[in-house]
Amino acid sequence: MNLIKFKSDWLLIAVLAVITLGVYYNSLWGDFIIDDYSAIVINDNVHNIKNYFSNNFSVKVGILADVEHLFIWSIFGANPFYFHLFNVLVHLCCVILFFILCNILFGKRELSFLTSLIFAVHPIHTEAVSWIAGGHYALSSLFFIASLIFYIKSDKSLVNLSLAIIFFCLCFLAGYAAAVLPVMFLLYDIFFREKREGDKLAKLRILLLCFVFLIAIIFVLRLYWERNKFVHLIFYFRGFRFLIVAAKAFVYYLKILYMPLQRGLYHPFAFDTFKIQKITPAFLLAIIIFVVSIAAFFRFRKSSKPLAFGIMWFYVTYIQYSNIIPICNIISERYIYLASFGFSIILACLFLKIWEIINKEVKHRYILRALAIAVIVLFVGSYASLTMKRNYDYHDIMIYWQSNINNFKEGYIVYNNLAGTFYAMGDKGNAIAYCWITLMVDPAQPHVWYNLGKVYKEIGELKQAEDCFINALIVDKNYIPAARVLEDLKNAK
């Protein structure tokens, strides 16, 4: 019986692998775009292994992304194919580990397979898989899942507990997911771990939790302390407006998770500094969804363990990108790569619950089964086709920007990001030009005036810079970054 189950599991994993590789096959032919240039192509630090480890290597968050780029560049050179291949293989490993995790937790292969399948083909992941520079979100997620799997099994051996620690450290070195991994450990112990007598490793797990919580707190405090080194949009809002923006971003994420119809590096929703801070039905909907989902967690914690775990997973992994912890963008698709697994579990639970109800219907059982299968195939197929379409958007820089412009009526704002790309490459002339193109279409963009002012300030055009910062404040008098720089310019005179 165990042999049959083992073979069945590997057959399902093989099916998941074929589907995942098939969906992301066309992403392998993409070029280097936007941040790939500053992170890899013109970054001499990752072009020489000996020089890197002698002069540039240090233990810090995200260092594994640099190491990955270093070794791929050293072996294959400036060929984007192998960077894309690495991202796709990391995503595939995440899909397989999620299947294993579901099997360990719930022991239901149909749930494990459907959850992993939805996760494998979800279009929201293209930014973390098809975009080379976004790959570290998938990489840190891989170590996150591995660490949790071994932590769940840590009551059986010290080796598993040791592996949980090792993968936690790798998760920390790969990206930001490590910030909430201790919370996942703790909540799993409280709500889902079965109490066993004679658990000799319980005290060691408590010590591990203390250790990882300490690391996570230091990590979060460092992010907060260094927030002014980046453009943290959430800090443009103060007091109650901060909560309004965070709540509306939560609803927006749920919307693009369920209906990922528009791909964009920058979603215009997050850059409308006037509308985003106003109380609208979306704000009230966020409160309702939060209250109902938390109530559902406690209501179904024992009767429907997968549903409760999916809710817990989503909220825990979403915390780091909920704008409570400082992050660069209010909305970015790559941010919810890990959280989307919770969404996938919830969807799979709902599908299987409907299937269970259908099986109780004697009269029209076969017709309803056929309809249910058709709905699932169409749903998963639509996600897969959208993912393949999005992969093509990453083939070169012009297709990328054009697709972003076409996807949103306010798509012209991505010209500001194109300006940022030229700025990162040292081409300040084109950076200025593309800022002006954006402002010619819509001058009511304080962040663009601010970015333009920064470039003018760096090239010594202080009068032009001052005018840009003033224009940013004319558009939005509460735009704090512009006010600060303008005050510094006046004090320097």
Residue 229 has what pLDDT?
Answer: 42
Residue 228 has what pLDDT?
Answer: 43
CA neighbor of 144 nearest in space, from 132, 121, 128: 128
Domains annotated for the chain, with CATH where assigned, are: 2-393 (no CATH), 410-492 (1.25.40.10)
Residue 378: HSE in the Cβ half-sphere, 13 Å Cα cutoff:
6
Residue 36 has what pLDDT?
Answer: 86
Give every CB contact of residue 476 below 8 A, 6+ residues apart in sequence: 236, 273, 274, 446
Low-confidence ranges of the chain (pLDDT < 50): 1, 228-232
Residue 293 has what pLDDT?
Answer: 94
Residue 231 has what pLDDT?
Answer: 45
> Distance (Å, rounded) from C-alpha 223 to C-alpha 235?
13
